[in-house]
Homo-oligomer: A and B are copies of this chain.
Amino acid sequence: MHYADGKSTPCEDVLPDQVRGCSDLNTSAFIRRMIRAERPDLVVFTGDNIFGFDSADAARSMDAAFAPAMEAGLPWAAVLGNHDQEGTLSREGVMRHVVGMKGTLSRVNPEGVEIDGYGNYHVEVYGAVGSVMSNKSVVNLYFLDSGDYSTVAGVGGYGWIKASQQVWFKQTSDRLQREYMGQPEPQKDPALGLVYFHIPLPEFASFDSSNFTGVRQEGISSASINSGFFTTMLEAGDVKAAFVGHDHINDFCGKLTGIHLCYAGGFGYHAYGKAGWSRRARVVYASLEKAVDGGWGDVKSIKTWKRLDDEKLSTIDTQVLWSKGSPGE
């Protein structure tokens, strides 16, 4: 979102006839539009929620940025980007403020674990109330702090997900898989995992237009070195897709050894973009199957599409990320 001070914070990279009156409020209006159109069960913010450099008060900027999700009474979750801490609060301070806000599922960090960063947590999504899956988490959402900038001498560029975070992620995934495949109602395969963080992994550079859905219009701004999180996701075995922010005009999903690597969509108006190329948001939609008793069962498929902030709120790039029983899924 790159939210700063609201009405006084101008839009970047919009067409000449869109400049006048355009501000952070357009970002807020786009959230409200998305919520009205999609009626989501959860809103996820993938970092650079505020643009600290231009924010007079980081806490106020966050209150305003997340307000539309709170007004709608929706649960929401956020991770940190590389700009959130550039204002009046540190990374820890930003995350501590976020977890105190209304409706958020965000957490600073797991308890009793030594871990790098702020905002490493997971959310379990249980099966339908009254169904056989009502006591099982059928989709697990993992949120990680991908850092801001390298602090290693001789290594420039952006941050990365560190080994301590990967151990926490892997142990959490292992536990959730044991629970899902154990009593009661033991399942044959692990529940689906979806992962959210800000900075793309180096593996996002594995794709071109021949093997992704969407567009690549700039370099992949991953860390300059590989910290191995893609490997750890593969080891875990439950992750079907990872969603990141960071690159505003890259907008694709590509699949690598069973995991979709997706951009979440350049959303904010006080953020670089491309004039005439609409701001956008990604929707992730899980469908449930009917169980043998006629009630709701397990997850049947995960679809995704994007909505453009144009006149019609156009839907583009619809694709199936996963469907039960598909070979190689």
Interfacial residues, chain A to chain B (CB-CB below 8 A): 152-155, 160, 162-164, 166-167, 170, 202, 223, 225-232, 234-235, 237, 257-258, 328
Contact = CB atoms under 8 A, between A and B. Distances in A.
A290 to B, nearest CB: 29
A163 B167 contact: yes
B154 A257 contact: yes
Q: Which 3 A-B pairs have the closest CB atoms?
A: A228-B228, A163-B166, A227-B228
Contacts of A160: 228, 231
Contact of A235 (B152, B230, B232, B237): B152
Contacts of A152: 234-235, 237, 257
Contacts of A163: 163, 166-167, 170, 228, 232
Contact of A225 (B162, B170, B234): B234
Contacts of A225: 230-231, 234, 257
Q: Which of A153, A163, A167, A229 has the most CB of B within 10 A?
A: A163
A258 B225 CA distance: 14
15 contacts: A152-B257, A153-B237, A154-B257, A162-B235, A163-B163, A163-B170, A164-B167, A166-B166, A167-B167, A225-B234, A226-B230, A226-B231, A227-B232, A228-B229, A228-B231
Contacts of A229: 228
> Max chain B CB contacts within 10 Å: which of A164, A202, A227, A258?
A227
Chain B CB within 10 A, most for which of A152, A154, A228: A228
Contacts of A237: 152-153
A230 B226 CA distance: 8
A227 B163 CA distance: 9
A234 B155 contact: yes
A154 B258 contact: yes
A147 to B, nearest CB: 11
A154 to B, nearest CB: 5
Given A152-B257, A225-B234, 10 more contacts: A152-B234, A154-B234, A154-B258, A155-B257, A162-B232, A163-B228, A226-B231, A227-B231, A227-B232, A228-B229
Contacts of A155: 234, 257
A43 to B, nearest CB: 30
Contacts of A223: 231
Contacts of A328: 154
A163 B152 CA distance: 19
A280 B258 CA distance: 42
Nearest to A223: B231
A227 B202 CA distance: 12
